[in-house]
Amino acid sequence: MRITKTLGLAALLAMTAGLAHAQDLRIGLQEDPDVLDPDQSRTFVGRIVYASLCDKLVDITPDLEIIPMLATGWEWSDDGTELTMSLREGVTFHDGEPFNAAAVAANIDRSKNLDVSRRKSEVKSIESWEVVDDYTIRFTLSAPDATLMAQFADRAGMMLSPKATEAAGADFGLNPVCAGPFVFKERVQQDRIVLEKFADYYRADEINFDSVTFLPIPDTTVRLANLRAGDLHMLERLAATDLASAEADDGLNVERATSLGYQGITINIANGPRADNPIGQSAAVRRALSLSIDRNALNQVVFEGAFAPGNQPYAPTSPWYNTAFPVPERDIDAAKALLAEAGHADGITVEVQVANNPVQTQVMQVIQAMAAEAGITVELAAKEFATLLADQSAGEFVASQIGWSGRVDPDGNIHQFMTANGGLNDADYSNPDMDKALNEARLSNDPAVRKQSYDAAIALQQEDMPIIYLYHPVWIWALDEKVAGFTPYPDGMIRLHGVSVSE
Amino acid sequence: MLAFLGRRILIAIPTVFLISVFVFTLQHLLPGDPILVMAGEERDPEIIAALREKYRMNDPITVQYLAWAGNALQGDLGISLRTQQPVLELIAEKLPVTIQLAVMALIIAILIGIPAGVLSAYKKGTWIDWLANIIALSGLSVPNFWLGIMLILLVSVRLGWLPASGYLPLSEDPLQSIRVMVMPAFVLGTALAATLMRHTRSAMLSVLKSDYVRTARAKGLREGVVLVKHALRNALVPVVTVITLLFGELLAGAVLTEQIFTIPGFGKLVVDAVFNRDYAVVQGIVLCTGIAFIAMNILADAAYRVLNPRMSDQ
């Protein structure tokens, strides 16, 4: 009896010791991710999960330089239509399948040809590919595409086990198998996603957790309360209004990075009959609205000064920002003069649709008050996001307050919005010079050459103003002070390499 | 009793059919396009076309309904547009969670509401009556989400007594599961307790004035026996009706409570599904909730008969 007791006690001790060692990192997300298939998913939080689950061909540095990940090197042909990549050797997928050139080929094929793939447009320029040897692959493009490497640094570059994709087809997301630092263990929708350490990961020494649990907690106050109560180790997207209180808390650390995205007001210029009004027809009126806005005050009032005021698709801190057009000071007189020039000295009325969440509504209410002083009456139409999007794409809007999550390559923030046939050009804006500048920017892999094209495009945008840019969100992470080694990235991802928690 | 149940179930069938038609059509009348949401930020026309084809969005709505209803009759409620999980699996996963929350909330509500109602009726006009009324009124007036956040800040962040949010299945760790659920159940239960208290009080007041209670007292029965065995038992009939009706309110209240405490139940599922225009999930949930609501009503009718056998003749 005594022996049984002792043994039981020993077993209990061993178990608790094991528990103390088995470290689980708990991360609070703002939303529940959608389907966990990189070829089908679309949410930002989904990408945060992938950062621990699925390694990509290449990655980025915090300064947005492309660096090796599963591909160790790459080379462009002189005419920019051939890309040869050498691949890392000795890498296996979570199911034990080897990673090699054939696996890359299968992945690109899936991104391009799976009927419901959301990645089609991102890898459109790839015309064909050739497995040169086990660890070398060559892509042939239909035309030079400077954006391709940045696509490989995101979902289009995530490598999935070909065996698993073949077996699961479109249902791959229910049990994803990749080559990242953690293996998918379980998911309870709206509750948690649990990943376990992948023992055979090629950089296993940089991973300090036995498992990582992602917990979707939409309410920002509750998310922070969970962190303070010790139920979370870190959370993404701390509300700007909670920033001061989190910074004052000794138990917490705050990290931030200006995002690649923006928020702005898209003006309907030629998309159906609703474009037929002063602001749709006159660039001067659009510039007047822009000048009536005090972007710094907007940032102070709504975001406690934590975000980055902006006037271009790139944040002022971005290397692609055109410094010839700094964020304008508010100028009511100039705004009134522009209105008068356009023949609307008595003022105009503009209906702006806005997503019915408290933050975006507040943004527009501040702008409403500011614009009124310049003689622009802003009427707000609050809509639920799905409705707002449908109306915007159908041309059922005069002006629409909407944003973009941002892309690593500068092309992603402007080409689709400003070119005449761009997929996201809901304004139906068209200017041949703009098309020329933005198409040219895709041809060269030389950043200096591309910068010239983007500078030209921004100059045109400042003149025509189909989108009035307002600000760039700043990613704010709050972490338990015991968490060390976290690096903020402008893409908002959480990379766990080198992150640790002290006991 | 069996004939009664059979009759009620037969009457329920057309109701369920009507619910399904309403949900299906009303949802498609909602502005906003699920495919546009699903296609992602890029809204690639090629992808949109492929998705429309896959989810049969190009078919006329009647064809879509018949296909859905046909599958539903065979127990297949389709798959979630957002995560591709089968809807039935999702519901089976979430239902126990919300039921646990609802049952715990109901227990809390009954434990507080009924004794408070009895007491305030018995002590009518005294300070006890007033106090119970004040507590009941504040329970009704304080919004769920505010009480929830205040409790999290006090009990979890300040005192560290209970976890702030989350969920553990009862089967995995019963004690911890109840610990996690206590706060949300309390938040949900207090509002109901107030309603229950008011109804118990007024039912008790009218019963206490009736002849048979006077007779019971005249017989020399102890006051406790009169109150519980004679008065309360009869007063409970309208209260049971209220509890059944409250069950619907519980499900509605669970939507907010689950959102605040991040409990992965029905309420959270339906909110996310509506915002994402995840048609199949919304349809599945409303259908199941409708059936559950009808079942509760049938059970309530059966309960009347047990509490008051005279009702069986009617």
- What ipTM score was computed for the predicted complex, to two decimals? 0.73
Does residue B66 fall inside a structural domain?
yes
CB contact under 8 A, A225 and B156: yes
What is the C-alpha to C-alpha distance for residues B178 and B168, in angstroms, rounded to an integer? 8
Q: Is A171 on the interface with B (CB under 8 A)?
A: yes
Residues B61 and B106 in one domain: no
Distance, C-alpha A132 to centroid of its chain = 33
pLDDT, tens only, A187-224: 988 889 999 999 999 999 999 999 999 999 888 888 99
pLDDT, tens only, B209-230: 888 888 888 888 888 888 877 7
What is the C-alpha to C-alpha distance for residues A454 and A444, in angstroms, rounded to an integer? 12
Does residue B72 fall inside a structural domain?
yes
Minimum distance, in Å, between the CA of residue A37 and any CA atom of chain B: 9
Does residue B88 fall inside a structural domain?
no
Residues of chain A neighbouring B83 (CB-CB closer than 8 A): 34-35, 173, 189
Residues B146 and B258 in one domain: yes
> Which pLDDT belongs to residue A353?
96
Looking at mean pLDDT, say which of A204-208, B106-110, B154-158, B291-295 comes out highest.
A204-208
> Which pLDDT belongs to residue A6?
47
Q: Which of B190, B225, B7 is nearest to B107 (CA)?
A: B190
Q: Is A229 on the interface with B (CB under 8 A)?
A: yes
Residues of chain A neighbouring B37 (CB-CB closer than 8 A): 385-386, 389
Structure tokens at A480: 């338990």
What is the reported pTM? Answer: 0.83
Structure tokens at A189: 């929708």
Q: Is A347 on the interface with B (CB under 8 A)?
A: no
> Which pLDDT belongs to residue B311?
67
Single-letter amino acid, residue A474: V
Residues B106 and B246 in one domain: yes
Does residue B304 fall inside a structural domain?
no
Please name the residue that has the structure tokens 């509490």. Answer: B307
Mean pLDDT value across residues A141-148: 93
Residue A115: which residues within 8 A CB-CB, separation 6 or more? A170, B50, B54
Number of C-alpha atoms within 13 angstroms, CB side, residue A212? 30
What is the C-alpha to C-alpha distance for residues B190 and B149, in angstroms, rounded to an integer? 15
pLDDT, tens only, A332-353: 999 999 999 999 999 999 999 9
CB contact under 8 A, B262 and A404: no
Residues of chain A neighbouring B31 (CB-CB closer than 8 A): 383-384, 386-387, 390-391
What is the C-alpha to C-alpha distance for residues A16 and A22, in angstroms, rounded to an integer? 10
CATH number, residue B203: 1.10.3720.10
Residues B120 and B203 in one domain: yes
Residues B103 and B216 in one domain: yes
Minimum distance, in Å, between the CA of residue B36 and any CA atom of chain A: 7
Specify burial of residue B196 (Cβ count, 10 A radius: 0-12, 13-18, 19+). Answer: buried
Domain count along chain B: 2
> Which pLDDT belongs to residue B312?
62
CB contact under 8 A, A386 and B34: yes
- Tell which A residues from 36 to 95 touch B, by Cβ distance under 8 Å: 41-42
CB contact under 8 A, B165 and A384: no
Size of interface A-B (CB pairs under 8 A): 137
Structure tokens at B185: 């159940």
- Exposed e or buried b for every residue in A231-249, given b needs 16+ CB within 10 A? bbbbbbbbbbebbeebeeb
Q: Which of B167, B153, B165 is nearest to B264 (CA)?
A: B167
Residues of chain A neighbouring B56 (CB-CB closer than 8 A): none
Does residue B107 fall inside a structural domain?
yes
Residues B61 and B151 in one domain: no
Residues B98 and B150 in one domain: yes
Minimum distance, in Å, between the CA of residue A429 and any CA atom of chain B: 17
Q: Under a CB-based contact definition with an 8 Å cutoff, are residues A442 and A185 in contact?
A: no
Does residue B13 fall inside a structural domain?
no
CB contact under 8 A, A424 and B165: no
CB atoms within 10 A of CB B298: 18
Q: Under a CB-based contact definition with an 8 Å cutoff, are residues B255 and B102 in contact?
A: no
Per-residue three-class SS string for B7-63:
HHHHHHHHHHHHHHHHHHHHHHHCCCCHHHHHCCCCCCHHHHHHHHHHCCCCCCHHH
Residues B66 and B123 in one domain: no
pLDDT, tens only, A466-495: 999 999 999 999 999 999 999 999 999 999
Q: Is A387 on the interface with B (CB under 8 A)?
A: yes
pLDDT, tens only, B135-176: 888 877 888 888 888 888 888 888 888 887 778 888 888 888
In this structure, what are the phi and psi dihedrals at residue B47, rounded to the nearest 5 degrees?
Answer: -70, -40
CB contact under 8 A, A191 and B40: no
* Nearest CB to B84 within list A174, A423, A424: A174
For residue A150, is pLDDT > 90?
yes
Does residue B280 fall inside a structural domain?
no
Structure tokens at A362: 């507040």
Does residue B167 fall inside a structural domain?
yes
Q: Which domain holds residue B39?
A: 33-76
Q: Is the dihedral of CA A385, A386, A392, A393 positive or negative?
A: positive
CB contact under 8 A, B54 and A115: yes
Specify burial of residue A256 (Cβ count, 10 A radius: 0-12, 13-18, 19+). Answer: middle
The domains found in chain A, sorted by start residue, are 55-174 (3.90.76.10), 182-259+475-501 (3.40.190.10), 262-472 (3.10.105.10)
Residues of chain B neighbouring A192 (CB-CB closer than 8 A): 264
CB contact under 8 A, A117 and B47: yes
For residue A14, is pLDDT > 60?
no
pLDDT, tens only, B38-92: 777 778 888 888 888 888 888 888 888 888 888 888 888 888 888 888 998 888 8
Q: Under a CB-based contact definition with an 8 Å cutoff, are residues A169 and A192 in contact?
A: no
What is the C-alpha to C-alpha distance for residues A384 and A361, in angstroms, rounded to an integer? 11
Single-letter amino acid, residue B26: L
Residues B46 and B123 in one domain: no
Report the mean per-residue pLDDT for chain A.
92
- Which band of pLDDT confidence, cut at 50, 70 and 90, is reported for residue A21? very low
Distances (CA, A) of A34 to A31, A457, B13: 9, 35, 35
Minimum distance, in Å, between the CA of residue B249 and any CA atom of chain A: 22
Minimum distance, in Å, between the CA of residue B24 and any CA atom of chain A: 18
> Which pLDDT belongs to residue B123?
85
B44, B93, B183, B278, best to mutate vs chain A, most A CBs in 10 Å? B44
Residues of chain B neighbouring A389 (CB-CB closer than 8 A): 32-33, 36-37
For chain B, the farthest-separated pair of C-alpha atoms sits apart, in whole angstroms, at 85
Residues B123 and B57 in one domain: no
Which of B45, B76, B107 finishes a domain?
B76
For residue A3, is pLDDT > 80?
no
pLDDT, tens only, B171-210: 888 888 888 888 999 998 888 888 888 888 888 888 888 8
Per-residue three-class SS string for A328-385:
CCCCHHHHHHHHHHCCCCCCEEEEEEEECCHHHHHHHHHHHHHHHCCCEEEEEEEECH
What is the C-alpha to C-alpha distance for residues A400 and A427, in angstroms, rounded to an integer? 9
- A258 SS3 class: strand
Q: Which of A177-186, A372-381, B143-152 has the lowest mean pLDDT?
A: B143-152
Residues of chain B neighbouring A173 (CB-CB closer than 8 A): 83-84
Residues of chain B neighbouring A35 (CB-CB closer than 8 A): 82-84
Residues B130 and B253 in one domain: yes
What is the C-alpha to C-alpha distance for residues B207 and B204, in angstroms, rounded to an integer? 5
DSSP character at residue A413 = G
CB contact under 8 A, B44 and A226: no
Residues B58 and B140 in one domain: no
CB contact under 8 A, A230 and B36: no
For residue A11, is pLDDT > 70?
no
Specify burial of residue A20 (Cβ count, 10 A radius: 0-12, 13-18, 19+). Answer: exposed
Residues of chain B neighbouring A116 (CB-CB closer than 8 A): 47, 50-51, 54
CB contact under 8 A, A115 and B32: no
Task: List the alpha helices (DSSP H) in chain B.
Answer: 2-29, 34-38, 45-54, 61-73, 87-122, 127-141, 144-151, 174-208, 211-218, 223-225, 233-260, 266-275, 279-307
